Amino acid sequence: MQLQVSEFHQFEAGGNPFLYLVPSGGIFAVDELSRKALAIAKENPREAKELLDALVATGATVEDARDCIEELVGARALGPEGGWKEPIDEAPAKFPLQTLVINLTNQCNLSCQYCYEFGEDKVATPEGKAKFMELETAQQSVDFLFKESAGRNSVHITFFGGETLMNFPLLKQIVDYSQAEAKAKGVTIDYSLTTNATLLRPDIIEYLSANAIGVTVSMDGPKEMNDQLRVFANGKGSYDIIVPKVKELLKQHTTRPIAARVTLTNGVRDVAKIFQHLRYEIGFHEVGFAPVTTSPTRLYAIDEKGLDDVLGQFEKLAYEYLEFALRGEHHGFSNVSDTLSELHQGISKSHPCGAGLGLLGVGPSGDISPCHRFVDSDEHKLGHVSEGMDSDKQQDFLKRGHVNAKYDCESCWARPVCAGGCYHEAFVRYGDTGHANLHYCDWIRGWTDLCLKIYGEIATHNPSFLNHFDQRKAS
Ligand code: SF4
Ligand code: SF4
C-alpha cells in the first residue's frame, strides 16, 4: 500500500510538536522519528517498505521504524493514497432527544437592544401565539421529551424565555410533573435556566438551590458596560437592580456552580475587565463570552478588526487559564473549558451543535423548533408537542446543516469542532441555516489553534488536569 500524509493541523506545545488529525479529531504527540517519517512521506507517497528503509537510513533501528510507521497509520496520520475513506455519517433517521429547551414565555421585562428574540434581526413570528406557556402545553412538552428520548437513562430540561422567571409558577409545575414522570420511568432528569436576574427573590433562589437547578445569568460586566444595552423599556440600566440579587444567588445557591454569560458588542468588548469584574468582584464560578449575533450593519456589531482584537484578548485570558490549569486550579473562563472538553473527547462533528438532533426548543405555543433561538418562528417550526415531530422537516434541516453539505468546510482543518457554526447565526447572516459561517472562519481557526496549544501544554505538564474533562463529559 502506498502511504501518504493524511490531513492534519500541526502545532507546537510545551516544546513538542503535535498533530491535530482531521477528520478524526484525534490529538497526537509527535516524537523525532515520527516527525522524520511524516516529512519523508510528505515529499511523495511511498510504499511502507520504502518508508521503513528511508527511516532506517536516518539511523533508526528496523524495529523502531516499523513501530513508528504502524503507530502513524494507526493514528491515521499516514494513510492510503487518496486518503482514508471515512465519510461522516448522515443524520440518523431516529436520534434520541437529550435536552429540551422550554421557553416558558416570550415576554421579557428588559429591552436589550441586541436581543435576537426582539431586536432587528429577530426570526420569531410570535403574532397570534401564546405569550406564556400553559400547564397543558408544558405537560405535553415533558411527555414529548420522554417519548423522544426513549433509550436514554438521563435527560435535561433547560428553562428559557423571554425572561424565564416571568413564568416561575409554571417552572415549578414542570419540575414536579417531570420529576414524577422520570421516577416512574427510571430516568434521571436535571434542570438549568437562563435569566436576566431582575426577578430573583429569596424564595426563588431557595427553590433553585433545593432542586439543584443550574443557573446562567446574562450580564455584560461592570455597570458602565452592562447598562449600555441591557436596559429596561424606559432606557434605565439593569445593573443596580440585578447586582444585589446576583450576590444573594451566589451566596445562597450552593448546589450548582453559577455562570455568567456575556454578549460582546462593539462598545462592550474589554474582555479582561469584564472577566475580572464578574469572576472576582461579583463571584461567578464561570464566565463565558459570545460576540453578538447580528447582521454586520448594526451599530453594535463587532467588525473584523474588532473580532481580531477580541481574539487577542481571549488569547491573554486563555494563557491565564493555562497558568491556573498547570497549578491544578479552576480558572473560570468557560470558553476555554468548553473547547478543551470537545478536543479531549476527540469529537468530529457531522453537525455544528445538537440543534434539531439531541436538542430541541419548544415555544410557549408548543411549537417545536431546532433550538431556543428559533422558537416561535413559523419558518423553522419542526412540529408541535401535541402532535410530535415533522420528521421530513427535521431531516431537511439536518441534511442542510451537515458538514458534508458545506462546500467551503470540506478542506478546512477546523471542521471537526466547527462543522460550519451556529445555524441561527448562519440564518441571520446568509438567510440559510445550512450556510457555513464564513465570516468567522479566521476566528474559529485562530481560537481552535490556541485551544490546541493550551491542550498540548496541559497534556505535557499536568496531564491529570485533563481528567476534569472526562467528568464534564460524564455530567
Ligand atoms: S465555517 Fe469556516 S472555520 Fe468552520 S468548518 Fe467551515 S470553513 Fe472551517
Ligand atoms: S443553532 Fe446556534 S444557538 Fe442554537 S443550539 Fe446551535 S449553536 Fe446554539
99-369 folds as: TIM Barrel (3.20.20)
Judge whether 272 and 316 are in contact, CB under 8 Å.
yes
pLDDT at 473 (0 to 100): 46
427 touches ligand 2 (CB under 6 Å) = no
DSSP code, position 15 = T
Overall pTM surpassing 0.85 (yes/no): yes
Give the Cβ contact number of residue 166 at 10 Å.
20
Q: How far is the CA of 64 from the centre of ligand 1 (A)?
A: 38
Q: How far is CA 77 from CA 5, 34, 40, in A?
A: 6, 10, 13
C-beta 261 within 6 A of ligand 2:
no
Cell of 112: 436589550
What is the DSSP secondary-structure string of 216-244?
EEE--SSHHHHHHH-B-TTS-BSHHHHHH
Q: What does the alpha-carbon distance between residue 438 and residue 445 come to, in Å, rounded to a whole number?
A: 11
Measured in whole angstroms, the distance separating CA 180 from the mean position of its chain's CA atoms is 30
Q: Which atom from ligand 2 is nearest to the alpha carbon of 371?
A: 4
Q: Nearest C-alpha to atom 3 of ligand 1 is from which residue? A: 441
- Distance from Cα 234 to the centre of ligand 2, integer Å: 30
Q: Which protein residue's CA is at the shortest distance from atom 4 of ligand 1?
A: 420
Q: Is 409 in the pocket of ligand 1 (CB under 6 A)?
A: yes
CA distance 289 to 266: 13
DSSP class per residue in 249-302? HHHH--SS-EEEEEEEBTTB--HHHHHIIIIIII--SEEEEEE----TTSTT--
pLDDT at residue 297, rounded to an integer: 72
In DSSP notation, 68-97 reads HHHHHHHTTSEEETT----PPPPPPS----
The confidence score (pLDDT) of residue 471 equals 62
2-80 shares its CATH topology with 99-369: no
Q: Report the separation in Å between the CA atom of 375 and the middle of ligand 2, taken as the mean of its atom positions.
A: 12
Q: What is the pLDDT of residue 475?
A: 35
| Domain boundaries, given as residue ranges, for the chain | 2-80, 99-369
Q: Which ligand approaches the C-alpha of residue 352 most closely?
A: 2
Nearest CA to ligand 1 atom 5: 415
Residue 68, Cβ density class (10 Å: 0-12 exposed, 13-18 middle, ≥19 buried): buried
379: which DSSP letter? G
Helix pair angle (62-74, 32-43), 10° resolution = 70
Q: How many whole angstroms separate alpha carbon 16 and alpha carbon 34?
A: 12
Architecture of the 2-80 domain: Alpha-Beta Complex (3.90)
Question: Which DSSP string do the residues of 340-352 spell out, in sequence order?
Answer: HHHHHTT---SSS
Give the number of the atom of ligand 1 that is nearest the alpha carbon of residue 412: 8
Measured in angstroms, how far is the CA atom of residue 15 from the centroid of ligand 1?
28
Q: How far apart are CA 372 and CA 370, in angstroms?
A: 7
Ligand nearest 422 Cα, by number?
2
Phi, psi of 406, rounded to the nearest 5 degrees: -110, 100
Tens of pLDDT along the chain (475 residues) come to 788 888 899 999 988 899 999 988 999 999 999 999 999 998 888 899 999 999 999 999 999 999 999 999 888 888 887 766 555 566 666 789 999 999 999 999 998 878 876 666 778 888 889 999 999 999 999 999 999 999 999 999 999 999 999 999 999 999 999 999 999 999 999 999 999 999 999 999 999 999 999 999 999 999 999 999 999 999 999 999 999 999 999 999 999 999 999 999 988 889 999 999 999 999 999 999 998 876 677 777 788 888 899 999 999 999 999 999 999 999 999 999 999 999 999 989 999 999 999 999 999 999 999 999 999 999 999 999 999 999 999 999 999 999 999 999 999 999 999 999 999 999 988 999 999 999 889 999 999 999 999 999 999 999 999 998 986 543 3
Protein residue whose Cα sits closest to atom 2 of ligand 2? 422
> Please, are residues 454 and 12 in contact by the beta-carbon 8 Å criterion?
no
CA–centroid distance, residue 338 to ligand 2 (Å): 14
